[in-house]
Amino acid sequence: MAKYFDVHPQTPQRRTISTVADSIRSGALIAYPTDSCFALGCQLGNRDGINRIRSIRNLDDRHHFTLVCQNFAQLGRFVHVDNDVFRAVKAATPGPYTFILRATAEVPRQLMHPKKKTVGVRIPEHVVTQALLAELGEPLLSSTLLLPGEEEPLTQGWEIKERLDHMVDAVVDSGDCGTRPTTVVDFSGGGAEIVRRGAGDTSRFE
């Protein structure tokens, strides 16, 4: 049965955030809010968590997982960013964008696209997510909480708790969350290719 954490959206309770971070370090898979919609998240090297995300979402090995980072310095440890891409990504963060870039050696092989050796990265603009990332001190391995056969992500913490009670270890709820996944921009081929149009403004990449 998943634990349920009710977190204040503007002033997250430090003790609660610390408890959630400790559970992630201990191998928990959580559902948590972002500036686009709810996501599934676990620690970077959590193989069981990765497999559970794949199972919940029915994903194949070509799916791009996302490393949700606290800031640009942290993001730069996990992906290669040249000067032109740096300016474009920097201007759009924090915000509801996911960027696909070539992964560095810091990224576990099972998280990369098997052929392209790429991974998704993003920096969210969400108070609770940022508090959790600061407490954790490392990125969250994440994927949008979009269930197989459904067109819209789950947006209510109570519904996530009800439907995924025996599939996740914790649900972090801070009230209303976005309803659209991030805009996904692939920079791995040199230019900007919009893979998914979502919550972010795409005009800057066109």
CB 112 within 8 A of CB 118: yes
Q: How many domains does the chain have?
A: 1
- Residue numbers of the domain that contains 175: 3-205
Asked if residue 109 has pLDDT above 90, the reply is: no
CATH number at residue 7: 3.90.870.10
Per residue in 125-147, pLDDT (tens digit) is 999 999 999 999 999 999 999 99
Per residue in 152-177, pLDDT (tens digit) is 888 889 999 999 999 999 999 998 88
CB 195 within 8 A of CB 120: no
Q: Distance (Å, rounded) from C-alpha 137 to C-alpha 147?
A: 29
Of the chain, the percentage scoring pLDDT greater than 70 comes to 100
Reduced to 3 states (helix: H, G, I; strand: E, B; else coil), residue 111 is helix
Per residue in 57-97, pLDDT (tens digit) is 999 877 888 999 999 999 999 999 988 898 999 999 999 99
**Section 32-58 average pLDDT:** 95
Maximum Cα–Cα distance across the chain = 47
In sequence order, what are the residues at sequence separation of 6 or more whose Cβ sits closer than 8 angstroms to the Cβ of residue 24?
A: 30, 41, 42, 43, 136, 140
> Which residue matches tokens 């994927």?
143
pLDDT at 34: 95
In sequence order, what are the residues at sequence separation of 6 or more whose Cβ sits closer than 8 angstroms to the Cβ of residue 4?
A: 157, 161, 170, 171, 173
In sequence order, what are the residues at sequence separation of 6 or more whose Cβ sits closer than 8 angstroms to the Cβ of residue 100?
A: 64, 118, 119, 120, 184, 185, 186, 187, 188, 195
Q: Work out the pLDDT band at 30, boundaries 50, 70, 90.
A: very high
Terminal Cα-to-Cα distance of the chain (whole angstroms): 45
